[in-house]
Amino acid sequence: MNKIGVGMIGAGWMGATLLQKLTERDDTSLVGLHQRNEEAARDTLSQLGANPDLFASSLDNLLARDSLDAVFVCSTNEAHGPQSIAALEAGKHVFCEKPCATRFRDFTRQIELAKARPDQITFVDYLLNFDTLEDRIRSMTRDGDFGGITQIQVNYRHPINIEGAKAWKLKADQMGDAIGMGIIHSLSVMLNIMAEQNARPVSVFASNSQTHSRPFEIPAVWNLQIRFSNDATGFCFGNVDQANGYDAYHNIHGTKGGLIFDSYLDRPQKIRYWSDSKTNSDWVYPLDHERCTREGLSKLTWPESTTTPDSGDVMQHQTGACVDHFLNCIHNGEQSFLSFENSAPVAELGWAAQMSAARGTPVSLPLDYTDAGSFFAHEAP
């Protein structure tokens, strides 16, 4: 298998973790690392056993390097759009941390370039989709375990770290918006579950609040109600300021079954589900093996290794699975289900929610790009 030459932009909390995953692989070679703090970049390279001279003093310097095939964009939020666009225009595959862009015009440019360059693989790192719980929920939905989903709730409430160098997340011009900062993870999960029923979002009604415990410059508390094409309704409570731990609560209700994942409960009780076809309409706790065995339901248990999206520790996130997926897409020449183009409905939902909150009315989906362009015309250059 030919090695993929990778370049990294940003080696902070997430970037350093992804960089470690990359240096552990046999199918990649590190071509360079660019970030604003040269000393920190060289230290990171040294700690990973890489040559500190792989530091790139500028983005142009990185993109011009021989054997560079793919770029990982892990910089601060406001740089994701311009840097991923530059990488696409340079002919590189692009792995982009969320949000894909904090300015609407950058988002539309990404989509334009991705459509024009189908051989360049793109990926937006909505990593909650890679927990094995999410894989199983999508499979259960596809298999009809819930029947037709009528109501679905996926939360994202997690007090993001703003200590020290991470204080940039307080600033509107660097953070963008709270939806893109993290809440969009839950929207991606919800849309990909509903896609298994060929249901797409048709409108969103959103509200927000600046009742904060910390000095965010943008609203950090969001409430979204999403209407789907199959008449189902989705709900998301998002909050990157106030929370006691990591709340990724799921509640799925369908005509023939349902599932609840409560991230605040102890592990055996975190997940319960019922299904007319699989559990005879009884509630089952698939991670509580002792209880399932006692109730004669041992065949319905899930592996102890089942991962759930309820940790604020990036080392416990499915970063390795995300890297595997992106690189396999490059090797196979196939776009990801989370490519810029394929995941556009998720980003559109985020833009539409901002418009809805400002206007106090629902906004229809798919997004009207002309209307959105006018709404976001005030964006800084």
Cis peptide before 52 (omega within 30 of 0): no
Q: What is the pLDDT of residue 301?
A: 97
The values of phi and psi at residue 164, to 5°, are: 55, -125
Mean pLDDT of the chain: 95
- Residue 1 binned pLDDT confidence (cut-offs 50, 70, 90): low
- 109-115's contacts with Cβ under 8 Å and 24+ in sequence apart are 109/81, 109/85, 110/81, 110/84, 110/85, 110/340, 111/340, 111/341, 111/344, 113/85, 113/88, 113/89, 113/340, 114/88, 114/339, 114/340, 114/341, 115/341
- Residue 193 binned pLDDT confidence (cut-offs 50, 70, 90): very high
Q: How many CB atoms lie within 10 A of CB 55?
A: 21
CA dist 201 → 100, 197, 226 (Å): 20, 12, 7
Q: Is the pLDDT of residue 211 over 90?
A: yes
For residue 134, which of 86, 211, 196, 176 has the smallest C-alpha distance? 196
- What whole-number distance in Å separates Cα of residue 81 and Cα of residue 96? 9
Q: Is the pLDDT of residue 315 over 70?
A: no
**Mean pLDDT to the nearest integer, 267-273:** 96
- Residue 314 binned pLDDT confidence (cut-offs 50, 70, 90): low
Tokens of 84: 């991923």
Tokens of 370: 């002309």
- Return the CA Rg of the chain: 21
Residue 273's beta-bridge partner residues? 259, 284
Which segment of 107-111, 156-160, 343-347 scores lowest on mean pLDDT? 156-160
- Residue 317 binned pLDDT confidence (cut-offs 50, 70, 90): confident
pLDDT, tens digit, 9 for 90 and up, residues 162-192: 999 899 999 999 999 999 999 999 999 999 9
Say how many residues make up the chain. Answer: 381
The 3-class secondary structure across 75-102, one letter per residue, is: CCHHHHHHHHHHHHHCCCEEEEECCCCC
Cβ atoms 275, 300 nearer than 8 A: no
Amino acid at 243: A
- What whole-number distance in Å separates Cα of residue 73 and Cα of residue 84? 7
- The upper half-sphere exposure of residue 155, i.e. CA atoms within 13 Å in the direction of its Cβ, equals 22
pLDDT, tens digit, 9 for 90 and up, residues 47-85: 999 999 999 999 999 999 999 999 999 999 999 999 999
- What whole-number distance in Å separates Cα of residue 74 and Cα of residue 84? 10
H/E stretch holding 275: strand 271-275
**Mean pLDDT to the nearest integer, 320-340:** 96
Q: In a 10 Å sphere around its CB, with 0-12 CB exposed, 13-18 middle and 19+ buried, how is residue 334 labelled?
A: exposed
Cβ atoms 63, 92 nearer than 8 A: yes
Q: What is the pLDDT of residue 311?
A: 79
Q: How many CB atoms lie within 10 A of CB 9?
A: 27
The DSSP secondary structure of 324-352, one letter per residue, reads: HHHHHHHHHT---TTSTTTTHHHHHHHHH
Return the SS3 of 270: coil
pLDDT, tens digit, 9 for 90 and up, residues 138-159: 999 999 999 999 999 999 999 9
Q: How far does CA 170 lie from the centroid of its chain?
A: 20
- What whole-number distance in Å separates Cα of residue 231 and Cα of residue 305? 35
- First-last CA distance in the chain: 42
Amino acid at 98: K
- What whole-number distance in Å separates Cα of residue 203 and Cα of residue 345? 11
